[in-house]
Every structure is written in C-alpha cells, then in structure tokens.
Amino acid sequence: MKQQEQLLTIKRFVRHLFQDDITGHDYYHMKRVAHLAKLIAEKEHADRFICETAAWLHDVVDEKLFTNPTEIKKELERLLISIDLSKQEIAQIKLAITDISFRKGKIPKSLEGKIVQDADQLDAIGAIGIARAFAYGATKGRHFYHEQFNNHTIKHFYDKLLLIKDTLHTKTAQHFAKERHQMMEQFLEQFYKEWNDGEITLARKDVEHHY
Ligand code: ADP
Ligand code: NI
C-alpha cells in the first residue's frame, strides 16, 4: 500500500471515531495537528510520514475521550496492521503517540513524539485555542468567567494556555507559537475591557492573585 492510501485509511478511521466530538477533539483538531506536525517535521528534518500519521492518531489513545478505551486501542492495533505498515513504522508511530499529553507532564522520547506534542500544543493556543478552551469548558458545565468559582475557563489560560509557549520542544513550534501567544494576550486584555468598565482591574487582579 502506498503512503497516500495508508493515510487515507487512517483519516477515515479518525473521521469515524471523532465525528460526534464537541469537546475540541474533533476530526478537524486531528487534521490541524497533522498539518502542523508535517510542517514542523519538514523544518526539523524529522520523519514526515511518521509525524503526520502519529498526529492523525494522537488522541486515539486518550482514555478520557472514550467510554471503551481498551476496545479502541485494539481497533488501532488492527488498523495499523491492516494497512501494511512495517513493524518498525508501527513501533515508531506508537512511540510518538504515547505519553504526549501535557497534562501528564511527560516528555516524549523520540523527535517525532516531540513534534506531535508540539503540534498538539500549538492547537491549544491562539484563536483556535481560545475557541477550544471555551468549547471544552462548556461541555464540563463551567462558566467562562466567574468571581465566585475558581474553575472558570479564563483561569485555564493562566493554568495552562499562557505557559505553553515555554514548554515547546522544537524551534519551529516556538516560532509558530509567538503569534498565537500574542493573540491570547490581546484577547484577555480586550476581555477585561469589555467585562465591565468598573471591574476591569478587579477582574485582572482576581485572576492573577488568586490563581
Ligand atoms: P490534549 O489535547 O493534550 O488531550 P486536553 O484534553 O487537556 O489536552 O485539552 C484539550 C483542549 O481542551 C485544549 O484546547 C485545552 O485548552 C482544553 N481544555 C482542557 N482542560 C480545560 C479546562 N479546564 N478549561 C478549558 N479548556 C480546557
Ligand atoms: Ni490533541
């Protein structure tokens, strides 16, 4: 099977698996991460095919996204075998998609893993990152901002999103992150401005001091 056909089969699998997702982990998230991973791989002289394939599949192993993760992992195993990938390619793809979550705080061992993690992190910042954060927060029943709750989505920017630019592994991703990071800072600035004229400073202080 040619690489293009292998990728097509993988995309079909991913489309089917994530078609109903509204938490920011939909097919288009995988598509964006795959695109970014390919771009980064080219610049960093890594294996493009492994990066792209692993990026398409990176959330298949995320246990929080599925009610039947064991079954999904078996399906992934069957898929990788069915498209004639070599044993070595399968091992590389698996290595790249294991332990890539920032939440778990692990640093991937391979360059390809680092690239997929960087691509995934880039999709959590910038305009898309802002949209995904609010979408995710809503599915968890969270306020986008609230003075009496400390799990609102604005807080997530301080807990995670504003820190991402300093956790990226590759120079290429760090470069891509600059514009996206600025975008989030501008967004927060404007958010406070619009929140309520008299409470702008209060809202900002609140977030910075208590979290
Ligand atoms: P990963 O993509 O590594 O699985 P997560 O599942 O933690 O990472 O995050 C996926 C998306 O959901 C990201 O865009 C992230 O910002 C968002 N998200 C995760 N936790 C929260 C939260 N507590 N509030 C708002 N958004 C969140
Ligand atoms: Ni992801």
Show the ligand 1 pocket: residues with CB < 6 angstroms: 24, 62, 101-103, 120, 124, 129, 132-133, 136-137, 153, 156, 161
Sign of the C-alpha dihedral, residues 91, 28, 126, 41? positive
Nearest CA to ligand 1 atom 8: 101
Each residue's pLDDT tens digit, 10-47: 999 999 999 888 888 999 999 999 999 999 999 999 99
User: In a mutational test of the pocket of ligand 1, which residue from 22, 106, 121, 160 has the highest number of ligand atoms less than 8 Å from its CB?
Assistant: 160
Nearest CA to ligand 1 atom 26: 133
Token couple for 126: 């910038």
State yes or no: pLDDT of 154 exceeds 60.
yes
Other C-beta atoms lying within 10 Å of the C-beta of residue 117 = 29
Each residue's pLDDT tens digit, 102-117: 455 688 889 999 999 9
Other C-beta atoms lying within 10 Å of the C-beta of residue 70 = 9
User: In a mutational test of the pocket of ligand 1, which residue from 114, 122, 136, 168 has the highest number of ligand atoms less than 8 Å from its CB?
Assistant: 136
Name, in order, each residue with C-beta under 8 angstroms of 64's C-beta and a sequence gap of 6 or more. Answer: none
Nearest CA to ligand 1 atom 13: 124
Nearest CA to ligand 1 atom 16: 133
Q: Which long-range contacts (CB under 8 A, 24 or more apart) does 82-89 make?
A: 82/9, 83/1, 83/5, 83/6, 83/9, 83/10, 84/1, 84/6, 85/6, 89/49, 89/50, 89/53
Closest ligand 1 atom, residue 103 Cα: 7
| Rounded-to-integer distance, Cα 51 and Cα 116, Å | 6
Closest ligand 1 atom, residue 29 Cα: 2
Give the predicted TM-score (pTM) of the model: 0.91
Query: Confidence class of residue 62 from pLDDT cuts 50, 70 and 90?
Result: confident
The CA 1 to ligand 1 mean position distance, Å, reads 35
Nearest CA to ligand 1 atom 18: 133
Mean pLDDT of the chain: 89
Identify which ligand lies nearest to the alpha carbon of 58: 2
Pair 181, 175: CB distance under 8 Å: no
State yes or no: pLDDT of 207 exceeds 80.
no
Burial class (CB in 10 A: 0-12, 13-18, 19+), 78: exposed
